[in-house]
Structure 1
Amino acid sequence: MIEKIGLGGSCHWCTEAIFQSLVGVNRVEQGWIASVNENESFSEAVIVEYDLNKMSLKTLIEVHLNTHSCTSNHSMREKYRSAIYYFSKEQENKAITILNDLQKEFDNKIITKVLSFRSFEMNKEEQLNYYLKNPEKPFCKNIINPKLKKIMRLFSDTIEFKKTINS
């Protein structure tokens, strides 16, 4: 069964690369998401399409929380809103339960919001698949690679990766 979820919290180039690397993720759309229940502007995010037979919502949320500052209300939060954007009431309830269950793994309070998806604006074509097109650029080496290495270390026993990075 194929589902989709919106995720935001850091640069969409990073978030795109992280979720593109996971088996069970069929597609990652990178751009900006707005929510029905937020009066805030669009925020950098991705829409992840995944196969429930190969990837769970819980694992996606765990990866998401561990690859951005999910407990920090820093000055860039408007641009990088820490959020899970749901597409159904069932998905909302699951996301809230998962966040509550995962809170025990974090010393500080998780600030990630569970928000109803309203609309999405895709990034420009030249910005899509940024990591795959530019793996040697300093941003990819210095910002994205450490996040990919972290999820490979933290989740190596529960998920598989479509590709690996150079150590």
Structure 2
Amino acid sequence: MNKQLATLGGGCFWCTEAIFQKIKGVEKVVSGYAGGTVPGKPTYREICSGLTGHAEVIQFMFDATIISYAEIITIFMTTHDPTSLNRQGADVGTQYRSVIFYHNSEQKQIATEVIQQIQPYFEEPIVTEISEIPTFYDAGEDHQDYYNQNREQGYCNFVITPKLSKLRKLYADKLK
């Protein structure tokens, strides 16, 4: 089976979505929520409160003959700050935590190995959570393809555009 599912949270899902939309072998990226303890489908407003326990995440299918899960995790770990606990830049709270939700034991093992391999490149300890995938909730249409629909918005210009520049610099060979 060449198609696999990945679920990652690296702060605001708009940033992570914009990055993985550009990667060869990655199919439709969906922004959403996972990892909370409150029953039922949470709303964006509830997530922003930080009280649900959910993280902002993206979920997508990828073709493992084009890009490996290890490469996906490496890109993920180097395009956000995996050493910041419950924060990415100005976004603060458990909903912005760095998290890898694995879908099988192989993904768990690969994620653990990649983190061990890249830890020496970071001055601070990596705090990325590695957990089994719980229920994933779609964030709703107004949060999908956000960067492409809102490039002129301040957040997109000041936060997402520089991340995409870094992506192009580090991973030009992996881009669509």
Q: TM-score, length-normalised on structure 2?
A: 0.83
Residues 20, 28 of structure 1: 8 Å contact kept: yes
Q: Which residue of the partner structure matches residue 103 of structure 1?
A: 119
CA offset at residue 77 of structure 1?
4.1
2:72 matches 1:60 = yes
For 2:140 and 2:60, the matched residues in 1 are separated by 18
Residues 3, 63 of structure 2: 8 Å contact kept: yes
Given candidates 149, 155, 162, the residue that maps to 1:133 is: 149
2:158 matches 1:142 = yes
Sequence identity percentage: 32
Structure with the higher helix share, 1 or 2: 2
Residues 86, 98 of structure 2: 8 Å contact kept: no
Superposed CA offset, 1:76-132 (max 9, x none): 240112111001111111111111111122121111111000111111212211011
CA offset at residue 35 of structure 1?
6.8
- What root-mean-square deviation, in Å, do the aligned CA atoms of Structure 1 and Structure 2 show? 1.7
Within a 5 Å distance, the mapping from 1:70-89 to structure 2 comes to 70-74=82-86, 76-89=92-105
Residues 33, 46 of structure 1: 8 Å contact kept: no
Amino acid at match of 1:121: Y
For 1:148 and 1:20, the matched residues in 2 are separated by 11
Greater displacement, 123-132 / 144-153: 123-132
CA offset at residue 48 of structure 1?
2.4
Superposed CA offset, 1:111-159 (max 9, x none): 1111000111111212211011112222211111100000111122x41
* Count of residues in correspondence between the two structures: 157
Residues 135, 141 of structure 1: 8 Å contact kept: yes
Change (3 A) 1:90 1:74: closer
Q: Which residue of the partner structure matches residue 165 of structure 1?
A: none
**Secondary structure of 1:27's partner?**
strand
Given candidates 10, 34, 44, the residue that maps to 2:56 is: 44
Greater displacement, 72-81 / 3-12: 72-81
**Secondary structure of 1:22's partner?**
coil
Unaligned residue ranges in structure 2 (runs of 5+): 38-51
For 1:127 and 1:82, the matched residues in 2 are separated by 19
Q: TM-score, length-normalised on structure 1?
A: 0.87
**Secondary structure of 1:155's partner?**
helix
